[in-house]
Structure 1
């Protein structure tokens, strides 16, 4: 079967790879000159199934007010006259209950765990390298109250058999020795030892090269203009290079997915939430993190990627703006210098932003639409790198007529037919 994958980020490229290994004839279309030059380019580098939680949760509305007032707060809202922004925010607030949080997290963890296993299998099969490490994620708490508030998360980890360790101050230093110099700032931590790290951009480009050897074609520097429908099926995609046709179509355009499907009457509740990162060269390896440290106070991830430190964070709701705001960099700088003051050279850091495609409930949208040959793989939010391989494998199975190895019914677009939308 001929399949057209729309989007050349980590989701689109992994989807193309698994479709190709399933025997399909695959073409990837993307407006950039290379794969993974947008949201997949400089993310935090975490492959973190254990940290796969919805942003919408109990207590978040009150926390959001505090975050907005903090000097280095993790949340920024820049209001716009955009109905989609306000509708998305309202839907997210409606998911901020204990019951909905539990349901949504229960949909995310199995996919994230499966995806990590798929990534490990892919790595073993291909010997692909991307500055990968398998040293876990340390969720770091500066205040005892933060540590005490992890009971609900731990209950879900127990439910799904996800290994974890609750650490005191010395335990955190044992996991991340460079924290010894700042241990007075630490109350404790939650270690998720099976989490991994790696450079998403490096991975995606390497996998794209392997996909090319399997016959996957890449139409790059090609703008996707609109989907063309004929009755209950998609008949083609209008692009800057002309009309492209296939037997099946996969929308993997992240934050831009709703804009492509809306004219067809398909409403995908995905909205961009901007994240920022800095990439800092390591100057003292012993003073740098060995894996990922999640600074819970600022919601900032500090990750070791080869000879660099990637610091990522901030949730900025500001539409489709890609502008860089120095105040957001100040937050990243502060978290890094507070936890690993001698690890990297901030003077040589590069500053970046990307648009995370967020759903209001948390899980991505994977599967069929009302058009028989149009499928979705989008809305992964901050977890696109974490969930990429599993999501792609699931979609390849669905298009190939195979039953996926995990239950995907609750990941489909149909779940938004209920009142929580």
Structure 2
């Protein structure tokens, strides 16, 4: 079967990988000049299998005024004359219930654990060089109330298979001495030894190398935007581009925010809206003052991941539409937090700034599975968890296309 994958980010590349392994002829289409150059380019780099609790939760509601009026808030909302923004926002607020958040957490953990198994299998096979590490993750808290809330979440997740431990300040320093630079504001933390990190862009490049090898190499059509999906009755005939139509037996839509536009052309609404995030990639100058363990500052909402001789600092979530402008104020916010936390160990002379649009659904659940068109499948809407969930989601979609039983039920993720 010839399968067209629209999108060469980490979700599209992992989808192509599993389809290729199943013996299909695969063509990947992307407007960029290579793999992983959009939202996958310089994300937070954490593979956070146990930290998937959705953004839509009851505690978000009392914080709404801060999100609306505080420019330095970790999450910021800029109202626009965009009906989709307001519709997504309303759906997000409706999802901010304890019951909905708990159900979403269960579904996301199941998918994340499945994804972890696929990552481990792929790494064991060899040939994937992406600054991968399995050093765990430490989430630090600056107040007792935040730590107590994290403990409650940890106890809930323990019933779902997570292995985590609560640490006091001394315990945090024992796990990762570099966090001493945070100063006295750390009251404790949650440590998860099973968490991992890696360079998502390098991961995409490594997958591309594997996909080009062998007797059935995948074809990559870079620099070629998908203009629309061409339907023929109840099926999709192919993908229209400026170079003509690329025909296939099946199409998987894995194009991040681009998936929304392409689906809309078929009368399918994908409830996806971009959460704009920022990152800095900094060269390490003093390894003793930079963490080996992935660190998340819960209060400031900044994540830090060590990638070889580089430290990736990432954070903030702006609902500002499909705006890829680098906002100096938001970059400055990430830089200030990084200087305060680990500034003594990195070089700020060439910070490599980046921003990307995380394609998020109101509930936080990705959209996986079939559509009303027999041969069109969806793999989109992963939000900030694209790297974490990509391998598991791709494997499920590939199995679904071939009518094989899926490892976990797909109902929670269906459109």
TM-score (norm 2): 0.97
Distance 2:198 2:129 in 1: 9
Deviation at 1:70, TM superposition (A): 4.5
Match of residue 136 from structure 1: 136
Match of 2:414 among 404, 412, 415: 412
Distance 2:350 2:230 in 1: 47
Write out per-residue CA displacement over residues 374-410 of structure 1, whole angstroms, 9 at most, x where no aligned residue: 0000000000000011011111111112111112221
Write out per-residue CA displacement over residues 160-192 of structure 1, whole angstroms, 9 at most, x where no aligned residue: 111101110011111111123434121110111
Match of residue 260 from structure 1: 262
Match of residue 127 from structure 1: 127
What SS is found at the alignment partner of 1:149? helix
What SS is found at the alignment partner of 1:130? coil
Aligned runs of 1:59-70 on 2, under 5 Å?
Answer: 59-70=59-70
Deviation at 1:338, TM superposition (A): 2.1
Q: 1:403 to 1:346 in 2, by over 3 A?
A: same
8 Å CA contact 2:68, 2:78 repeated in 1: no
Match of residue 107 from structure 1: 107
Q: Larger deviation: 147-156 or 215-224?
A: 147-156
Match of 1:389 among 381, 391, 408: 391
Q: 1:289 to 1:69 in 2, by over 3 A?
A: farther
Write out per-residue CA displacement over residues 59-102 of structure 1, whole angstroms, 9 at most, x where no aligned residue: 20212323445463201122211101110011000000101100
What SS is found at the alignment partner of 1:150? helix
Match of residue 55 from structure 2: 55
8 Å CA contact 2:36, 2:205 repeated in 1: yes
Match of residue 368 from structure 2: 366
Distance 1:89 1:152 in 2: 27
Aligned runs of 1:153-172 on 2, under 5 Å?
Answer: 153-172=153-172
What SS is found at the alignment partner of 1:330? helix
Distance 2:64 2:116 in 1: 30
Distance 2:207 2:127 in 1: 11
Q: What stretches of structure 2 of length at least 5 have no aligned partner?
A: none
Distance 1:34 1:83 in 2: 33
Match of residue 417 from structure 1: none
Match of 2:402 among 384, 400, 403: 400
TM-score (norm 1): 0.96
What SS is found at the alignment partner of 2:265? helix
What SS is found at the alignment partner of 2:43? coil
Distance 1:64 1:330 in 2: 23
Q: Larger deviation: 149-158 or 114-123?
A: 149-158
What SS is found at the alignment partner of 2:260? helix
Match of residue 416 from structure 1: none
8 Å CA contact 1:106, 1:156 repeated in 2: no
Asked if 1:187 is matched to 2:187, the reply is yes
Q: 1:398 to 1:369 in 2, by over 3 A?
A: same
Distance 2:67 2:78 in 1: 14
Distance 1:173 1:47 in 2: 22
Match of residue 355 from structure 2: 353
What SS is found at the alignment partner of 2:343? coil
What SS is found at the alignment partner of 2:162? coil
Distance 1:193 1:319 in 2: 36
Distance 2:172 2:302 in 1: 17
Match of residue 3 from structure 2: 3
CA-based RMSD: 1.2
What SS is found at the alignment partner of 1:278? strand
Q: What stretches of structure 1 of length at least 5 have no aligned partner?
A: 414-421
Distance 1:181 1:35 in 2: 36
What SS is found at the alignment partner of 1:43? coil
8 Å CA contact 2:151, 2:166 repeated in 1: no
What SS is found at the alignment partner of 2:295? strand
Distance 1:197 1:261 in 2: 32
8 Å CA contact 2:67, 2:77 repeated in 1: no
Match of 1:344 among 332, 343, 346: 346
Aligned runs of 1:16-415 on 2, under 5 Å?
Answer: 16-70=16-70, 72-214=72-214, 215-413=217-415
Q: Larger deviation: 369-378 or 132-141?
A: 132-141
Q: 1:31 to 1:399 in 2, by over 3 A?
A: same
8 Å CA contact 1:299, 1:313 repeated in 2: yes
Distance 2:18 2:281 in 1: 30
Deviation at 1:136, TM superposition (A): 1.1
